[in-house]
Structure 1
Amino acid sequence: MIKMTTEVTHKLYTMCMIQDGTKVLLMNRPDKKGFPGYIAPGGKVEFPESIVNGAIREVKEETGLTVKEIVFKGIDEYCDPSQGLRYMVFNYLATATEGELLNNPPEGELLWVDMKEALNLPMQDWFKRRFPLFFEPGTFEVSFVWLADTDETLEATIKNYGV
């Protein structure tokens, strides 16, 4: 039996896929940063900034690029009832940026990758599952109820609200 807590902690994060034609910008995060492998820029939303401004800020901090065009693509959440944790990631697609990539990016090496080749790179399973959703019409919703201690999924919901 799962021990449920009545206290809930919400953690808000962003992820922003940057697309330029047939290429996307990914970073190769080292093991010491957590979530090793290739991933899109993103991070924690600072209070009281808006979620979209958090995504734009994270892109600037992690890549050096300034986002010029951005669209909301969907939400990805993970709930752990034993910890009372709801971890929410608000996902965006940036299709226009300006500026130069950082020479020494803080979160890992930056690489422009052909979209058709991206899934061949080493990456976390959850990012591999989410990757194609950035490019489908409409928005998506991904929700997992899981136990972090045992990495057991109790419930999964994946929906695409196409146009």
Structure 2
Amino acid sequence: MKINHELYTMCMIEKGDKVLLLNRPTKRGFPGYIAPGGKVDYPESIVNGAIREVREETGLIVTDIIYKGLAEYCEPQTGLRSMVFNYLAASFEGEILEHPPEGELLWIDKDKALELPMQDWFRSRFPLFFQPGTFEISSVWDKEEQITISKTEKQYVERVTVT
């Protein structure tokens, strides 16, 4: 079986106590609210892919971007491994688009965001963007049965050494 790798990004944009989320319509896949992001173009770097996707989907140019973690999904039946590199942007330039191509944009309080309709995988990942350190999530998905076969989750917090 041929193994295929797909690289994606997701970038949570933060402004004070608010985050910018995108309401993806059903026709675009993964309906509900989600952070901006998308496929990394070859040979583009992963971080440049995140910056480009934010610009294309929101009109904003992120100026300070922090790597937060990796979420990957493997489908044994198809040989697909999708890797999503997650970032947090705390500063940006520009104005949000009047007619965004991927769906309506919404600035919402972080503590109210989880009340919005969203995919379960994004709902569980949402708080990880704001916790110290990085995260890693690896899921094996049975496409035929539509169930998760196995899942590994790790959080890595930087150790502080006092001398």
- Please give the alpha-carbon distance, in whole angstroms, between the structure 2 residues aligned to 1:162 and 1:133: 12
What is aligned with 1:64?
Answer: 59
Give the TM-score normalised by the residue count of structure 1.
Answer: 0.95
Work out the CA distance in 1 between the residues paired with 2:56 and 2:152: 32
Partner of 1:23: 18
- Where does structure 1 lack aligned partners over 5 or more consecutive residues? none
Normalising by structure 2, report the TM-score.
0.95
Q: Using the alignment, how far apart are the partners of 1:129 and 1:41 within structure 2? A: 16
Question: What's the counterpart of residue 130 of structure 1?
Answer: 125
Who is 1:94 aligned against? Answer: 89
Q: Write out aligned runs for 1:1-163 (5 A).
A: 5=1, 7-163=2-158
Tell me by how many angstroms 1:161 deviates.
0.3
The one-letter amino acid paired with 2:94 is G
Aligned-pair identity (%): 66
5+ unaligned residues in a row in structure 2: which ranges?
A: 159-163
What's the secondary structure of 2:100's corresponding residue?
A: coil
Aligned Cα RMSD in Å?
Answer: 0.6
Deviations 1:50-99 (A, max 9, x none): 00000000000000000000000000000011110101000000000010
- Number of corresponding residues: 158
